[in-house]
Structure 1
Amino acid sequence: MRSKKICDMAVRAALMAVVCVGAALAVAAQREMAISAIQGSSNMSSVMGERVRAQGVVTALHRTGFFIQTPDDRTDDDPLTSEGVFVFTRTAPPKEAAIGNLVSVTGTVEEYRPRNEPNTLPLTEISMQAGRDSVKVISGGNPLPKPVELTPGHFESNKIDQLERYEGMRVYVAAMTVVAPTGGRVDIATSRSASNGVFFGVLKGIPRPFREPGLDIFDIVFLKDTEKEALQKNFPNLPIFDGNPQKIRVESLGQIGGTAIEAAANTEIADLTGVMHYAFRNFTLLVDADSKHKQSSTIKPVPMPEPKAGQISVASINLENFFDDHDDPKIKEPVVTKEAFAGRLKKISLAFRDVLTLPDVIGVAEAENLAGLKRLAEAINRDAVSSGKPDPQYEAFLEDGNDGRGIDNGFLVKTAKLRVVEVKQFGKDEKYKHPRTGESVHLNDRPPLMIRVVTRNTGGDFGLTVFANHLKSFLGYNDPNQRDNVRMKKRLQAEYLAKIVQERQKADPKERIIVLGDMNAYQFNDGVLDLLGIITGKPAAKDAVFNFSPDIVEPDLINLVDVIDASQRYSYTYDGNAQVIDHFLISVTLRDHISGFGYARVNADHPDSYRNDTNRPERFSDHDAAVAYFSMTPVR
């Protein structure tokens, strides 16, 4: 879902007011108020800052508080006012807050926003102060209020606050489709993941949400009217992305005593009940601790086709923190245990053999060093022979860069089929001036690495020039203290890469060029930058992007993601959105040779807990691999 105009924002006017939490002084007297009156019909409570007393049935327990909701026979029957509210206790809830207890609580009404995330909808809560406020039990064993059933009709484009009316209330989802798998917290040293129980879903029948062109709506709605008018005047064609408010964030461990739901994308979950919360810019379902939901069987990876006779396959993959078990005193890298590193070699080898089907050239990102990459090549070669396949004779190539953690770009080349002609790193010593400090700093943390290969024993050489890349991440992209530098660096990196490509095209118009890797950018203009437009030679216009770049590349490169089915245009999931950040670009000299392209679905759709099982290929990384097939004779 996407909004096309800055002014087309379906967010209530009350949200636009600048309100400081705690600006109003809490008075000594307590106002007895219904929960619906505290919540009101807008995003901001009209009694914010006031000390109140409210009654409700305890419906859920959270590690920092609990939820109460008005009994069904006492509601105000207004569909725009929520009958539930979060009571913030800072620590575990008191014993009086037992589920089913009808309680009376006192506290100050606040609109909570995380300090590091000011551009987000507020969460209305009753904040208790130790030694002043209390929870008193009126009765126990009360039935919980009937949950509201969510339906597709509750969701519309651009309405980021559409579930505000149910904030703090019990809700029910009859059928949900998972769109981003359960995540986790990874210990790099042990290569183990602890589930966080968080996944994203949509109601059954709603399409999967994808990242779309444009500036994030949350970076627009909180601006002053004068700032919005200036944007409309200076950037009339600036696209706006509505954040896909049709998705629901689900915390299966959100309630005390909950059990983690491990779910892959496309899993269907039925009969899900919980409390509607708000966190991380998403309405969030905190699943009941005693959930009786039903879950469909999970998906399995589908192997990519093996290259046919006369074809060359080329792949790109971010290995995600591929550190080895040796301590390098020159860098501050995590040191992986010997057992964990052996497990990673086994798991990646399994994926490369059985899912990627042993591509002829593999461009990799986030490899610590050449020694570790060589050990991976040896493991794949050994495992291939042990499983009855021909020895691919992979050889590893890597050049150290400038990354603070020591991760670099590299290649694995199947030398049984291809001969390496040249390996060259570009721009390791390139500098730019930091916009805030004026210091001269490295432009390329992970400099582009080029490899030239030709076929063996085919009766005629077929050569490819491949660039492996890993551009600056989004970290700090919207941070007021970092964004000037981050955005400049990303733009300059893209322009630098575009200039390299253009120089080679100009020097040899017949050279077959591939530019691949983790670009940390989408295939379109995100409103701030259009990095892929810069690299391919199709940059966004000045009135459509904050940071404009001129057209550097001619003829344009072709982004292969644009030629596959729209439902397959993703290599990664973030914040519940399927998105492409791993790209595969080709020169026009390869247009008549491309015979296939796709992403190996082995990581992005699978729960992070799968990385703990070294006997399965799924989740050896958080990125899917891009794989392209080229015919040595023109197919068009």
Structure 2
Amino acid sequence: VETSGSFDAASDGLDFWESLEAMRVRIDDPQVVGPTNDFGETPVVPAGAGPRTARGGIVISAQDFNPERVVLGDTFAPIPAAHVGDRYAGPVTGVMDYNFGLFTLLPPTAPQLQRGLLAREVTRPPREEELAVATFNVENLSPADSPQKFATLAHQIVVNLAAPDLVALEEIQDNSGPANNRVTAADQTLTLLAAAIRAAGGPVYDWRQIDPSDGADGGQPGGNIRQAFLFRSDRGLSFVDGPGGNAGAAVSVLDERRGPRLSLSPGRIDPANPAFFNSRKPLAGEFRWGGKPVFVVANHFNSKGGDQPLFGRFQPPARGSEQQRHAQATAVRAFASALLAADERARIVVLGDINDFEFSQTANVLVGDGSLVDLPRTLPPDERYTYVFEGNSQVLDHILISRAIADPPGRGRGFEYDIVHTNSEFSDQASDHDPQVARLHLGIDQR
């Protein structure tokens, strides 16, 4: 029995729920703050808990990880699958349990669900002078997935994201998916996605990526996930194909008289760095928009797997996974700094699944001296989320842009930014992440 520390059920959320464990508990008018997961669990908060997002969720901050959350479990009765913004009618009564790091209310009968009619968001198309760049974690996409998953992702790219010029994709698996058979190529995966986009009424998309070494980049065993650039060239964007990179070759910045260039395009940033052991290596590519270079780095940093749970025994919980992300961010930031050293007005986009919050040290490392702008930080606090975990709406995916794009001289703000909520709040999701898009006001005069 632990005797250290203090116990305060009146003001500490964890202690409050702990004091009710194994008791019969009633929650009045539970409001759904996270989609029902594959285990039949639905995160809720009592009526009146807040502050809430306009769509019904509850956002974390550096000071508040929302201990008012509790999960409705289906041990005794099925829980109707719910989306964020739904509610269960009337009081819900059950036994308070604790398992897998969560306080879980187990009702003896199924509660009645009242739908909130939450709609998937749609962003506006880019104007002629705007370069639209997006990032989208497509959750272990491979030919082993159903045609419906490809069709849904394609619909989201074409309709909800308005067919952006460039989409940085994360979690593209190899052609055999989770089969652990030494296959690393992903051309079939990307061909299927591009074909689904065309079938959904979208434009022709091309792609660039680098096959990883087998089993070296983490993720689902056998899947060999990687980032890929998916881009359309009918609006003025083009890819600069340089010498071909491979899994072990490191891209560098060439400081030429006409400005910086990449030694490899596409190329991988510092793949031998221990920071990227068993994790995805950043993918760098050189694009041109209106005859001028745009340097893009697609990322998928290591996950939070292995971190201690928020409602666990150890408080505050240790987040051991952060150290690797800090080192990964340092490597990416050094690459961006090399581009800026060659040209302080370089147009740089760093984006992807950073697997950390906008207020995290990982994000701080990427921002550095402020020469990169983290776009989630430009939104109102209640709009900052790309992912919902155990009922907590949070930012994991980011787009950062250089000051040359964010604050062009004499032209005001140089971007519009939109996190497009299509997945994270819904129990019928094509991916567990929301995509996001930045429309960069590069101007017709620069094209």
Q: Once the two structures are superposed, what CA deviation does each residue of 1:455-483 show, in whole Å capped at 9, x if it has no partner?
A: 3xxxx535422110001111234599xx9
Does 2:178 match 1:358?
no
Contact 2:322 2:362 in 1 (8 A): no
Contact 1:394 1:413 in 2 (8 A): yes
Of 173, 181, 184, the match for 2:27: 173
What does residue range 517-596 of structure 1 map to in structure 2 within 5 Å?
517-525=352-360, 530-537=361-368, 554-592=369-407, 594-596=414-416
Query: In the alignment, what sits opposite 2:217?
Result: 403
Of 474, 495, 499, the match for 2:334: 499
| Structure 1 residue 155: Cα displacement | 7.5
Rounded Cα–Cα distance in structure 2 between residues aligned with 1:465 and 1:350 = 27
In terms of mean alpha carbon deviation, does 483-492 or 200-209 score higher? 483-492
Does 2:147 match 1:342?
yes
Query: Counterpart of 1:180 in 2: which secondary structure?
Result: coil
| Structure 1 residue 484: Cα displacement | 10
| Structure 1 residue 415: Cα displacement | 1.4
- Structure 1: give runs of 5+ residues left out of the alignment: 1-13, 19-41, 44-79, 81-153, 185-195, 214-240, 325-335, 385-390, 433-440, 538-553, 611-618
Distance 1:313 1:412, change over 3 A: same
Contact 1:155 1:246 in 2 (8 A): no
Rounded Cα–Cα distance in structure 2 between residues aligned with 1:342 and 1:361 = 23
| Structure 1 residue 322: Cα displacement | 0.9
Rounded Cα–Cα distance in structure 1 between residues aligned with 2:430 and 2:10 = 35
Q: Once the two structures are superposed, what CA deviation does each residue of 1:354-385 show, in whole Å capped at 9, x if it has no partner?
A: 2111111000111022331122112212331x
Amino acid at match of 1:303: V
Does 2:81 match 1:262?
yes
Query: In the alignment, what sits opposite 1:416?
Result: 234
Query: Counterpart of 2:156 in 1: which secondary structure?
Result: helix
Larger radius of gyration: 1
Q: Once the two structures are superposed, what CA deviation does each residue of 1:55-100 show, in whole Å capped at 9, x if it has no partner?
A: xxxxxxxxxxxxxxxxxxxxxxxxx9xxxxxxxxxxxxxxxxxxxx
Does 2:211 match 1:211?
no
Rounded Cα–Cα distance in structure 2 between residues aligned with 1:451 and 1:444 = 22
- Structure 2: give runs of 5+ residues left out of the alignment: 53-57, 174-185, 242-264, 408-412
Of 414, 425, 449, the match for 2:267: 425
Rounded Cα–Cα distance in structure 1 between residues aligned with 2:295 and 2:272 = 22
Query: In the alignment, what sits opposite 2:442?
Result: 632
Of 180, 183, 200, the match for 1:383: 200
| Structure 1 residue 595: Cα displacement | 3.2
Query: Counterpart of 2:14 in 1: which secondary structure?
Result: coil
| Structure 1 residue 268: Cα displacement | 2.0
Q: Once the two structures are superposed, what CA deviation does each residue of 1:137-165 show, in whole Å capped at 9, x if it has no partner?
A: xxxxxxxxxxxxxxxxx984x43211344
Q: Percent identity?
A: 27
Contact 1:594 1:628 in 2 (8 A): no
Distance 1:453 1:169, change over 3 A: same
Rounded Cα–Cα distance in structure 1 between residues aligned with 2:95 and 2:49 = 21
| Structure 1 residue 274: Cα displacement | 1.7
Query: In the alignment, what sits opposite 1:445?
Result: 279
Query: Counterpart of 1:624 in 2: which secondary structure?
Result: coil
Contact 1:443 1:489 in 2 (8 A): no
Runs of 4+ off more than 4 Å? 483-488
Amino acid at match of 1:582: D
| Structure 1 residue 352: Cα displacement | 1.2
Query: In the alignment, what sits opposite 2:300?
Result: 470
Rounded Cα–Cα distance in structure 2 between residues aligned with 1:367 and 1:305 = 26
Query: In the alignment, what sits opposite 2:40?
Result: 197
- Specify which structure has the bigger relative contact order, considering alpha-carbon pairs within 8 angstroms and separated by 6 or more residues: 2
Matched pairs, number: 383
TM-score, normalization by structure 1: 0.56
Amino acid at match of 2:67: P
Distance 1:273 1:520, change over 3 A: same
